[in-house]
Chains A and B, each alone.
Chain A
Amino acid sequence: MAKTMEQLMDLIDKIPDEPAKVGEFILPELMAIQIAHQVRDDDVVFAGTGLPMVGIMTANFINAPHALLIYEAGICDGKTMHVPMSVCDQRAANMCTSIGGLVDTFGFYLQQGFVSLGFLGGAAIDKYGGVNVTSIGDYYKPSHRFTGSGGNSDIGTMAKRVAYIILQEKRRFLERNEYTTTPGWWCWDFKTNEWKPKKEVWKGTPFAESGPEAVVTNMGNYKFDKNGEIYLESFHPGVTVEQIKENCGFNLNVKNVKGETKKPTYRELFVLREFVDAELIFLPQKVEYPASLKKLIEG
């Protein structure tokens, strides 16, 4: 007979916290867990819909159980049981400390300075972490039009640290975005028409030092240097640095690569599969556990 969720919960600590082997996990799982690793236990996290939400939920179940999650539509510190499909989902509001609206989340929490980590998606990113989720081509006559900012530009500039998850392609990793929805460490100063460090444009505001800290893609993990420029930190299993450079639209700094991205552990995968996305909404399929683990879980 299948185990109850409570029995599965009791199993978590018995599942080995050792890296899984290549072939025992799929890319979306690896990425969700990379997101989870960005979250600290004392973080106040404001995340967008999609993989960021799955990742921070995973963190909340493993490495950061005390992290406080804010969901855009008005939810503060939800204790989620079933993965939400939207940041307004009642599932995200389960057992939350208080519930309000957008003025609460963007005003009371974000602009007031409580948010320590923002986790967002993007259609394209520039060398300094500036993100485009608006349009490609002429702004008024675009070849592609995306959804537009949503909370991206608010969260991406006012959260203390910001992390992005982006699909890596040459046309998405750019020297300069055609449209900057969310400025990175360098941006335009429209008053003087100069390309400047964000610290100067935002000088004096409480958010001059806030900005992108990490980027997770399907090929690797990235960080930013003192000049605000992105660099490769690690490459995902099965990907080479050469391939990453080929999928980048500018001359990428690969001098600080630490090595291969840490593979997810069996325990992390177990939590992700059984508790975060058991309904297979975000993950495309249920991956088989290796035989010994299967016996432990089902036995």
Chain B
Amino acid sequence: MFKRGATKKAQIMSLEDAVKTYIKDGMMVAFGGFTGFNRNPSSVAWQMVRQGNKNIHCIDRHGGICTWLLNSVGALSVYETDWMGWGEMAGKLDVNMERTYKAGKMVLEDYSHGAMAMRFLAGAIGAPFIPYYAPQGSDLYNPKYDALGKAGKRDGKNVKIPRKKFMEMADPFFNTGNVILLPAARCDVAVIHATQCGQKGTARWRGVGTIDKEICFAADKVIVVAEEIVAESELRKMPESNQIPYFVVDAIVENPWGAYPSAVPFYYDYDAPFMRGMDAASRNPEDMKKWLDEWVFSPKSWEEMMTKVGAKRLLDLKADSTTGYSTRILRGKKPAPRMTVPLSVARSGY
């Protein structure tokens, strides 16, 4: 609908230039990854905070490092999501976001996880809406609860905000009761963190895909941050391992450890102790400010921030080549046991 007949030519850029060029105040942005744990494009949100982006409408399957960072400086004005937590077992609810919301400084639109996935799928395949057996009888589909509507944002002025939150209708084809029609999710910019990206933009990752491919196809502009930029010819030897074709990508940023403190499977693990520290800092504004000064505003670059994290920590986080995660990082109170086979496999086979 927005890009008929047009392909793109991706450019390799610095983190600063990519954010400056493609992310403007007031834009609708979607971030890739899963909660605060997996392939969050943290470095982009970190750079947005440093560059002072404001009034961002984030549309996402749920919170993570990026929303935590943006909210920490009050840069989110609308959050369309299904989960305003960020760190699951390292700090479930974003307590600072709860503060922002309760102070009336943010519009929060609730959907469910499956619903947001379906909305982005619709956005990605160019469909205006998608039917889903989204839970009838849930207050998510209570006509009284439409936060964007209440805020007067469904007037069509922003073409990416649907005129309705949802619509219920009877299945006209197979007579299977009522379904909910969900509007496509579309955004100005999608930002994902991949493992490898070719110089033209072909990108891949390992581990879960979440909805990274969907958000890239649902967005007008796409920024791919990668652990490394490699030759396209190398990626084309195993095309079934690539998820993003180059023609949807606008900017390529090479930024090793750019997803920290989330994990990049087969590269490095998530840093649970660091995330617990973030959670603790977010519990009061004073500590939050100190944390931001220390970790966001003081370092001159992402490289300098990672240097501050320290070589010992990074060695501990380095992923095992066979499992894709680290067995050296202390996540709980005891070190990880040395396993050679999963117990369920030992007890029952596959």
Q: Which of B248-290 contact A (CB under 8 A)?
A: 263, 265-266, 269-270, 272
20 further A-B contacts with Cβ under 8 Å, apart from A73-B210, A82-B337, A139-B139, are A5-B339, A75-B208, A81-B342, A82-B339, A88-B207, A89-B270, A90-B269, A93-B265, A94-B323, A95-B342, A139-B145, A145-B98, A149-B83, A153-B138, A153-B140, A180-B138, A187-B138, A188-B142, A280-B333, A281-B89
**B4 interfacial contact with A, CB 8 Å:** no
Which among B138, B141, B269, B347 has the highest number of chain A CB atoms within 10 Å?
B138
Chain A nearest CB, measured from B38 CB (Å) = 4
| A203 contacts the other chain (CB 8 A) | yes
B147 at the A/B interface (Cβ < 8 Å)? yes
Among the listed stretches A205-213, A229-237, A291-299, which one makes contact with chain B, having 4 or more residues with CB under 8 Å of it? Answer: A205-213
Contact digits for B92-127, partner A, Cβ 8 Å, 1 yes 0 no:
110000100110100000111111111001000000
Query: Any chain B CB within 8 A of the CB of A55?
Result: no
Interface size class of chain B, counting residues whose CB lies under 8 Å from the partner chain:
35 or more
The A interface is mostly helix, strand or loop, or mixed, namely loop
Q: Is the CB of A205 within 8 A of B143?
A: no
Q: Are B135 and A95 in contact (CB under 8 A)?
A: no
In the complex, whether A181 has a CB less than 8 A from a CB of chain B is yes
A270 to chain B, nearest CB (A): 11
The CA of A79 and the CA of B342, in the complex, are separated in Å by 6
Asked whether A147 is an interface residue with its Cβ less than 8 Å from the other chain, the reply is yes
Q: In the bound complex, do residue B137 and residue A198 qualify as a contact, i.e. CB atoms below 8 Å apart?
A: yes
Known: A61-B347, A65-B347, A140-B147. A103 touches B331 (CB 8 A): no
Per-residue 0/1 for B317-350: is the Cβ within 8 Å of any A Cβ (1 yes, 0 no)? 0010001110100011111111111111111101
Residues of B at under 8 Å CB distance from A?
33-38, 61-62, 81-85, 88-90, 92-93, 98, 101-102, 104, 110-118, 121, 132-145, 147, 150, 168, 171, 175-179, 207-214, 263, 265-266, 269-270, 272, 319, 323-325, 327, 331-348, 350
A selection of 11 A-B contacts at a CB cut-off of 8 Å is A49-B89, A82-B327, A88-B35, A93-B324, A101-B209, A107-B118, A111-B132, A148-B83, A152-B112, A205-B176, A281-B89
Contact yes or no, A106 B118, CB < 8 A: yes
Q: Which residues of A lie under 8 Å from residue B113 when comparing CB positions?
A: 72, 102, 106, 149-152, 154
Interface residues on A, range: 35 or more
